[in-house]
């Protein structure tokens, strides 16, 4: 087994621990907006399941019968559910953006406080570009991960549960067949997701290196001009930039 394969379980456990700490320390102060977002997620999930359930009667009334009143009732139900879903989705997006903004500000303040109180040895060891990346990029990535957890365990999970119940309500035999086939199709998606997370982590590290290279070049602009070091600086920048860009083959 390769070193990356041995480290993968450890990294996953660390990610789970970090996410639990993020939810505990930064999610609890936002409990009110999170509850409001959860209500919007529940409405979105219920409206999605309702629209799925209205598909069959809509087709039956449109093509199987000529009852105009029933067709209008089904069309009105579809329109109402669509409006509810749209409003709930919009409300959830607004509330989640507010939560993300508050958590990002709190994270950036805490990281900056830790960095500004660090000793001089730490600042000599870490270039300013890497510190900038930690304050800006890393905190944003953590906040995005927090939002992904809320969306995954909120709207997506609730929508999936309601749709699964709807499947078994309509045809339990076909649903059992689907439950056998779908996990086989999800396995490649899980593998690709793990690979994409590893690539994203590497890109995050190289983003810090790129910011450090830019900071060094701009801070030493006078020396670069004095000694004619523009071509080597450009070459160094392109080298760091190539390391940061993900290869399509990966």
For residue 72, tell me if it sits in a domain: yes
Q: Which of 136, 170, 204 is the last residue of a domain?
A: 170
* 42 & 153 share domain: yes
Q: Which domain CATH number covers 51?
A: 1.20.1560.10
% of the chain exceeding 70 in pLDDT: 82
Q: Which of 170, 194, 215 is the last residue of a domain?
A: 170
For residue 148, tell me if it sits in a domain: yes
- What confidence category does residue 83 fall into, taking pLDDT thresholds of 50, 70 and 90? very high
**pLDDT, tens only, 187-202:** 777 778 777 777 766 6
For residue 10, tell me if it sits in a domain: no
Q: Mean pLDDT across the chain, nearest whole number?
A: 76
| Residue 128: domain span | 22-170
Q: Which of 154, 170, 186 is the last residue of a domain?
A: 170
* 164 & 177 share domain: no
Bigger pLDDT: 145 vs 34: 34
Average pLDDT estimate for 86-114: 86
Number of compact structural domains in the chain: 2
For residue 159, tell me if it sits in a domain: yes
Bigger pLDDT: 116 vs 241: 116
- What confidence category does residue 185 fall into, taking pLDDT thresholds of 50, 70 and 90? confident
Average pLDDT estimate for 134-145: 75
d(CA 87, CA 244): 39
SS3 for 49? helix
The per-residue pLDDT for 90 is 92
* 191 & 176 share domain: yes
* 163 & 203 share domain: no
User: Does 91 score more than 80 pLDDT?
Assistant: yes
Residue 95 makes CB contacts below 8 A (sequence gap 6+) with 33, 36, 37, 40
């Amino acid at each position: 087994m390769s070193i990356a394969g041995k480290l993968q379980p450890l990294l996953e456990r660390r990610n789970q621990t970090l996410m639990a700490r993020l939810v505990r320390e930064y999610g609890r102060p936002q409990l009110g907006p999170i509850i409001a977002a959860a209500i919007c997620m529940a409405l979105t999930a219920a409206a999605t399941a309702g629209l799925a359930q209205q598909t069959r009667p809509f087709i039956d009334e449109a093509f199987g019968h000529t009852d105009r009143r029933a067709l209008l009732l089904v069309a009105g139900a579809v329109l109402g559910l669509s409006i509810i879903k749209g409003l709930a989705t919009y409300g959830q997006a607004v509330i989640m953006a507010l939560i993300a903004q508050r958590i990002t500000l709190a994270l950036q303040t805490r990281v900056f406080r830790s960095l500004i109180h660090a000793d001089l040895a730490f600042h000599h060891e870490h270039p300013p570009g890497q510190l900038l990346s930690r304050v800006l990029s890393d905190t944003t990535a953590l906040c995005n991960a927090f939002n992904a957890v809320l969306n995954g365990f909120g709207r997506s999970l609730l929508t999936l549960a309601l749709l699964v119940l709807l499947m078994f309500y309509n045809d339990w035999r076909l649903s059992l067949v689907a439950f056998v086939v779908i996990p086989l199709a999800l396995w490649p998606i899980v593998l690709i997701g793990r690979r994409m997370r590893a690539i994203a982590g590497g890109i995050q590290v190289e983003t810090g290196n790129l910011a450090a290279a830019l900071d060094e070049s701009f801070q030493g602009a006078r020396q670069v001009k004095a000694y004619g070091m523009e071509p080597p600086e450009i070459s160094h920048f392109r080298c760091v930039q190539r390391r940061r860009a993900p290869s399509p083959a990966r």
